[in-house]
Amino acid sequence: MYGLFLLTALWVTSRIWADPAGRVASLYSSDPAQVQFFLAHSVRVVLHGEFPFYTDQFNYPDGVNLMANTAILALGIPMVPVTLLFGPAVSFVTLVTLGLAGTAAAWYHVLSRHVLRHRPAALVAGWFCGFSPAMLAHANWHPNIISQFLLPFLVWRALVLTRTTRPVRDGALLALLVTVQAFINEEILLFTALGIGVFLLAMLAQQPARWRSAWRPLGAGLAVCAALAGALLAYPLYVQFAGPMAYHGLSDAVRDYGNDLAAFVTPGSATLGGNQRANANLAPNYSEENAFFGWGLTLIAVGIVVWLRREPLVRALAATGLFFAVLSLGERVSWWDRDLVTGPWQLLVRLPLLDAVVPTRFGMITSVVVGVLLALAVRRALALRLPDRRTVRTLTSAVLAVALLPIAPMPLQVVSRPAVPEFITSGRWRPYVGAEQTLVPVPVPSMGNTNGMRWAASANLDFKIPGGYFLAPRNGNTGDPGQFGGRPSGFGDLLQRVSKTGRADRLDERQRRRSLDELRHWRAAVLVLPVGQPNAEPLRRTVEQVAGPGRRELDVWVWDVRRLTEPRGPRPRATAR
């Protein structure tokens, strides 16, 4: 079974594996570059002892709070050998592949050995939890979200606390799982805790007598878990919420992301029956297709609940899945992009912790619930005592085919991306850039243009860059609400505009002075423009108005601006690293 999961994950990522450095999933391309930057940072943490939770290697000089940006240390540090040998692009696609296969395998393992003890039923659940439309959508650019291989163990160990005779041991074990998951993705950890809480409340509401035997071991185990995990995570969380470049609450651009009601009955874009064009406006973007079960699976899931409604477990699962499906609709409930009513999420969106949640992702909890419901139905169906067992197996297989075939995983669509310039890969940049200076890619790295981040990652972050794609407090003021990117940059915005439009305006003296002031703020040593960059010629003319004539070197245009940006006094020598 585990080999089947791995082969399926390789099938999904096969087009990226054909050229990891030159291809990226076509639905979006910014997050892979960010993740590759974080993978290179993990290498520096291991080899150079760099501080793991903050860096100024991008967004120089303000830097970036990595604890508040999901720096995936629990994934990046084990991947250091792969990153060193093959580069961060290969590490990225490896993480995506193992995230999908590992999540499916983990659910299969826990359900088959500790919960259902029924391999065919566990296989169905593991398959769906590992390769659901939501997982396929996030596979485009979120390895931290699809790496859910600890979640089945978190759920299982949390439920064990309700009946344990060794709450200290089991609470400590749960704390270790919580700690590791926090360094993979805190949002998924929060979802897991919320899902377990709602499920337990739904079970106790039906069977209140269970509380009398469960509350003591559960309370003791959770106390041990909270104390140990709190001690292990205290400093990282302090940095996240009170350290440099900490922010409070997500950007307004994503806080109201919600699912359209029609998303639940539509196949995902990355599935056999999916249609990317038909799915437009049903999710915030194609990487956030967190429902998309299709009509067949939706109706079958409802039918399973009706069929097995006498089982308290099924009723509790149904209540949990429905609760989070409703929350995933966001602040406005819509049907085919037409607003209907205000959603309940509007009442919760400003609560602490929840103000940092992307509501559409609550649909991933519903996906897990649907996977477990499928497993319970398969186990019950195959246990029916009917004379013709072959007919039962055939009917069960037919129902699963109707439910799962339209949302069967397909290879991720990819596009080519520009190669890292030879000027970077050959190390020709090194004579220009000192330890506390920056290499400025043209255009300046931003949410919509992350090529410069890939350059830095390919060079093991040996040079700093301004800008980048990350979350930071508004205007660089620690504690303010979050936004994508750092302080506003007139020069950066100018180059971005020229890159998009191809129009190079003549700058006045005021614009030139402000652009030079920003270069000085960044301690820029050299500006680098790839010759093959789209609209390279108008970009070159624009930069020349600020920094003077450039020089062609290998496959880039280079502007040595140290004489314009260094403070008065001797020029600092560049260091060979």
pLDDT top residue among 279 and 329: 329
SS3 category, 329: coil
Other C-beta atoms lying within 10 Å of the C-beta of residue 361: 22
pLDDT (tens digit per residue) in 162-177: 999 999 999 999 999 9
In whole angstroms, what is the distance from residue 564 CA to residue 521 CA? 11
- Mean pLDDT value across residues 404-414: 94
pLDDT tier, 575 (very low <50, low <70, confident <90, very high otherwise): very low
pLDDT of residue 249: 84
pLDDT single digits (tens) 452-473: 999 999 999 999 999 999 999 9
Per-residue pLDDT averaged across 477-487, rounded?
Answer: 90
Q: What is the pLDDT of residue 574?
A: 46
Question: Residue 572: what pLDDT?
Answer: 45
51 CB neighbour count, 10 Å cutoff:
12
Span of 35-49, 322-336, 373-387 with lowest mean pLDDT: 373-387
Between CA 377 and CA 125 the distance in angstroms is 10
Q: Is the dihedral of CA 164, 165, 167, 170 positive or negative?
A: negative
Task: Give the Å distances, CA to CA, from 416 to 22, 29, 70, 384.
Answer: 6, 10, 26, 52
Q: Tell me what pLDDT residue 383 has.
A: 87
Across 101-131, b (16+ Cβ under 10 Å) vs e yields bbbbbbbbbbbbeebbebeebbbbbbbbbbb
When pLDDT is averaged across residues 153-158 and rounded to a whole number, the result is 97
pLDDT band at 219 (very low <50, low <70, confident <90, very high): very high
Is the model's pLDDT at 40 over the cut of 80? Answer: yes
Q: What pLDDT, on a 0 to 100 scale, did the predictor assign at position 577? A: 39
Structure confidence by residue, pLDDT tens digits, 69-79: 999 999 999 99
What is the mean pLDDT of the segment spanning 333-344? 92
Taking the C-alpha atoms of residue 280 and residue 286, their distance in angstroms, rounded to an integer, is 8
Q: What is the mean pLDDT of residues 182-203?
A: 97
**The tokens of 504 are what?**
């190079």
Give the span between the Cα atoms of 295 and 301, in whole angstroms.
10
User: Where residue 537 falls among pLDDT bands split at 50, 70, 90?
Assistant: very high
Q: Which amino acid appears at position 258 of this protein?
A: G
Predicted pLDDT at 28: 58
| Spatial distance between the Cα atoms of 224 and 222, rounded to a whole number of angstroms | 5
Mean pLDDT over 520-545 rounds to 96
Domain ranges of the chain: 1-407, 422-565
Confidence of residue 570 (pLDDT cuts 50, 70, 90): very low
Cβ neighbours for 105, distance < 8 A, ≥ 6 positions apart: 1, 2, 5, 126, 130, 149
User: How far, in Å, are 42, 192, 334, 404 from residue 329 at the CA level?
Assistant: 36, 18, 8, 23
Least confident of 2-11, 267-276, 277-286: 277-286
What is the pLDDT at residue 392? Answer: 83
Quick one: average pLDDT of 369-389? 90
Could you report the per-residue pLDDT of 423-461, keeping only the tens digit for each? 999 999 999 999 999 999 999 999 889 999 999 999 999
pLDDT of residue 576: 39
The answer to whether 15 and 411 are in contact (CB under 8 A) is yes
Picking from 149, 161, 154, the residue whose alpha carbon sits closest to that of residue 107 is: 149
Q: Is the pLDDT of residue 567 over 90?
A: no
Report d(CA 251, CA 277) in Å as an integer: 27
Which residues are registered as beta bridge partners of 271? 409
Residue 24 in this model has a pLDDT that exceeds 90: no
Q: E strands of 58-183, at which residues?
A: 64-65
Q: Which residues are paired to 477 by β-bridges? A: none
**Encoded tokens for 281:** 């406006």
- The answer, yes or no, to whether residue 400 has pLDDT greater than 80, is yes
- What pTM was estimated for this model as a whole? 0.93
CB of 453 within 8 A of CB of 37? Answer: yes
Burial (CB count <10 Å: 0-12, 13-18, 19+), residue 232 = middle
Percent of the chain with pLDDT over 90: 81
The half-sphere exposure of 546 on its side-chain side, counting CA atoms within 13 A, is 31
First to last CA, the chain: 46
pLDDT digits (tens, 9 = 90+) for 244-270: 999 988 877 677 799 999 999 999 999
Question: Tokens 């409070």 label which residue?
Answer: 248
Q: What is the pLDDT of residue 27?
A: 63
Residues 379 and 279: their CA atoms lie apart, in Å, by 33
Q: Which residue has the tokens 């403070």?
A: 567
Report the chain's mean pLDDT, rounded to a whole number: 93
Angle, helices 210-242/186-206, rounded to nearest 10 degrees: 160
